[in-house]
Amino acid sequence: MIDIFLWYVVWLSTFGAAAGAAAAVTHEFYYKVQYVLANPDGVHEKEVISFNGTWPLPTIEVNKGDRVKLHLINGLEDSTTSLHFHGLFMKGVGYMDGPVGVTQCPISPGGSMLYDFKVEQSGTYWYHSHSGSQYSDGFRGLFIIHDEEQEAKYTFDKQLSWSVSDWYHLPSAELVKKQLTRYNPTGAEPIPQNLLFNDSRNVTIGIDYDTTYLIRIANIGIMVSQFFSIPGYEFEIVEVDGVYTEQKKAKLAYLTVGQRMSILLKTKSKSDAKSNVIIVTSMDRSMLDTVPVDLELNSINYLVYDESIPMPELPSWIDDQDSFEPINDLDLVPSSHTPLLAEPDHRISLLLHMENLGDGVNYAFLNNYTYVAPKVPTLLTALSAPDSLINDARIYGSNTNSFVLKKDETVEIVINNEDDNKHPMHLHGHQFQIIARSKDFEEPVHYDPDKQDSFAEFPIMRDTVYVEGNGYLVIRFVADNPGVWFFHCHLDFHLEQGLAVTLVEAPDYLDKYIPDDHLQTCERSNMPTKGNAAGNDQDFLNLHGEYVQPAPLPAGFTPKGYVALFTCTAAALYGIWSIYVFGMNDISVTEAGKIDNEKRVMQKYIEILERLKMKSVESRSAEPSAEIEKMLKQVIALNDKLSQL
């Protein structure tokens, strides 16, 4: 049994302490994940996932060149787990990357796994569970990598680290159930209850006059992007996602979930500071399908010089998101001046859309495939495949949406987003150049390289970037990191809907090694450790029995018709979404009593539509009324059919 009192051990490495540089250190952690109760927003207490009984999780700070050995022990009785260090390349140790089904099996209750890697990058990172949507239960924290040489390039006096995130009162399993049900045919994402700042609210941080702070900020939420500002102050961006940038002045920045930045903030002198300071972060309202009346879009936290001077007034512009003009990350320049990657050797064009399958659930698709995890983690398929088939994408399964990359080729990924949502896309194992990103459009607009006048000379690099609704995104990187890397939407509900592809990068260059505890983890989960995506290790081209997406909707039931029939679109359009939400809450989503449920759902819709009809008659708007009438007829017809069953 591991003594968890010895949960953190540091020792100086006897190797590699180069003259002049800080001696490399090994940081060894023993973290048992277990539930504790917490009430970070002061409104609702819920079970969160702690390390050794402590939550919030620690900010882990190391130096470039150090080694981390983190023993993750699963003390959750009802759930599997895993750990991902977001943004780290895990060069040569791709099996430490953490996503379940991609590089490892889930760690079952009582099991443990060692995450052991050398830290070769620097900047602002974070760690989180990569097992379903579990990180929304608080299983996430900051991972800061200092780099003496880099930090010496700026003038600053002190350092701070801040996390920002959305917060839900429901546990992750409930949230996903709410999202992935045929009673949510439009795939509306659950709305967060609050925003947290350093896992709390109304936070006060003492600051000094006339001092420059290097502040690292990470959005560790699961859904909503945030605008960030410090009204009355300008700051300078110096890093995004571990990529150092030429210093760029900004008043308003934007962070999707998964994104990070470092800023330099100079405080005022005692004579100039007439008041203390507020930090304003705001939910990107355009990402919310509905804004409940009691939802506070803005989160206000405080930087205090002196308790005796006043707090500033809240500026009125913070409520006018239409006027927001955050700095565009495409205008940032990496200080490395890494030139634009030349014409790609390998183009991957991904068409993104959302659609309902036969189970009525709304899924996300890239090139008509919605991600379904394979029977064997894709990395283990690559490690067990015969050389003759290792570069054959078929062995990795159809619903893993796998693309095989050749060593050192320049890869371009184009996403044409035919969904009207914004998607924060995250690539594991790399920082990519952002070559092009369109604005949002009413109707989908695809990328056309011939219409592109020019690209940046030194494109900004990141590991997470959003594509706009109905817009496109183009990124490039060099396939110089053999491994199996997930490329997915970091908006966790969309990942649950299957918005992911697998990049099998230079599998013929992979070390045929996997730590013993990985194999044991698979055994404990009753998962095979070799074979193709279907678990067949005799005939890698026989995918019989692989996990695939649900069948499409029955013939005659077009997705559009289905949505029109079952949906709340009208409710959303005519502003009584709340009737839908509350009206549907008492409908249980169980297999038993399915028909009965169907009838109750129909009854609810009829009620909702009748109320809508009344409302539009009252307001004398002819058009909605006609549309509602049509929907009402459809629902009543279906209800009649059901009554005859």
Name the site residues for Cu ion (rule: CB under 5 A): 423, 489, 491, 494
Residue 123 · residue 239 · CB < 8 Å:
yes
User: Smaller CB distance to Cu ion: residue 423 or 476?
Assistant: 423
178 or 494: whose CB is closer to Cu ion?
A: 494
Give the span between the Cα atoms of 354 and 420, in whole angstroms.
9
**Which residue lies nearer to Cu ion by CB, 318 or 489?**
489
- Residue 281, strand partner residues: 228, 299
Helix 594-618 × helix 622-643 angle, to 10°? 160
- State the minimum distance, in angstroms, from the CB of residue 439 to Cu ion: 17
Residue environment code for 451-474, b if the CB has 16+ CB neighbours within 10 A, otherwise e: eeeebbebbbbbbbbbbbbbbbbb
Decide whether 165 or 262 has the Cβ nearer to Cu ion.
Answer: 165
On whether the CB atoms of residues 33 and 81 are closer than 8 A, the answer is: yes
Q: What is the DSSP string of 514-532?
A: --HHHHHHHHHTT--SSSS
Distance CA 166, CA 192 (A): 6
Structure tokens of 376?
């064997």
Write down the least CB distance from residue 504 to Cu ion, Å: 22
Please report how close the Cβ of residue 393 comes to Cu ion at its closest, in angstroms. 24
* Contacts of residue 423, Cβ cutoff 8 Å, sequence gap at least 6: 352, 415, 417, 466, 467, 489, 491, 494, 499
Nearer to Cu ion, 131 or 225 (CB): 225
Instruction: Report the nearest approach of Cu ion to the CB of residue 223 (Å).
Output: 9
Q: How far apart are CA 454 and CA 458, in angstroms?
A: 12
**DSSP assignment, residue 209?**
T
Q: Which is nearer to Cu ion, 267 or 497 (CB)?
A: 497
Q: From the CB of 453, what's the least distance to Cu ion, in Å? A: 29
Nearer to Cu ion, 182 or 423 (CB): 423
Looking from the CA of 608 toward its CB, the CA atoms found within 13 Å total 28
Q: Measure Cα distances from 97 to 2, 34, 82, 218, 328 in Å.
A: 23, 21, 9, 19, 30
- Closest approach of Cβ 452 to Cu ion, in Å? 24
**Eight-class DSSP state of 358:** T
Residue 42, judged by CB atoms within 10 A of its CB (0-12, 13-18, 19+), counts as exposed
CB closer to Cu ion, 140 vs 423? 423
Whichever of 365 and 562 has its CB closer to Cu ion, that residue is 365
Q: How far is the CB of 637 from Cu ion (least distance, A)?
A: 35
Closest contact distance (angstroms) between CB of 172 and Cu ion is 17
Rounded to a whole number of angstroms, the minimum distance from the CB of residue 441 to Cu ion is 17
Q: Return the number of the residue (420 or 537) whose C-beta is nearest Cu ion.
A: 420
Q: Which residues contact 39 (CB under 8 A, 6 or more apart)?
A: 45, 46
Closest to Cu ion by CB, 144 vs 489, is 489
Nearer to Cu ion by Cβ, of 488 and 518: the residue is 488
- Contact (Cβ atoms closer than 8 angstroms) between residue 46 and residue 38: yes
Rounded Cα–Cα distance for residues 468 and 420 (Å)? 8
Comparison of 366 and 570: residue with beta carbon closer to Cu ion: 366
Size (the chain), residues: 645
- Cα–Cα distance between 118 and 120 in angstroms, integer? 6
CB of 126 to Cu ion, least distance (A): 18
Closest separation in Å from C-beta 468 to Cu ion: 11
> What residues contact 2, with CB distance under 8 A and at least 6 apart?
30, 71, 73, 112
- Report phi then psi at 378, rounded to 5: -55, -35
Structure tokens, 238: 């110096």
C-beta of 494: minimal distance to Cu ion in Å?
A: 3
Q: Which two tokens stand for residue 177?
A: 């159930």
Sign of the torsion angle spanned by Cα atoms 13, 16, 19, 24:
negative
Closest by alpha carbon to 343, among 190, 474, 537? 474
Secondary structure percentages of the chain, helix, strand, coil, to 5: 20, 30, 50
Shortest distance (Å) from residue 415 CB to Cu ion: 10
Name the minimum Å distance from CB 189 to Cu ion: 9
Of the pair 238, 473, the CB lying nearest Cu ion is at: 473
Nearer to Cu ion, 151 or 420 (CB): 420
Question: Which helix (H) or strand (E) is 61 found in, with range?
Answer: strand 60-63
- 67, 99, 87: which is closest to 484 by C-alpha? 99
Nearest approach, Cβ of 411 to Cu ion (angstroms)?
21
Query: Contact 26/11 with Cβ under 8 angstroms?
Result: yes
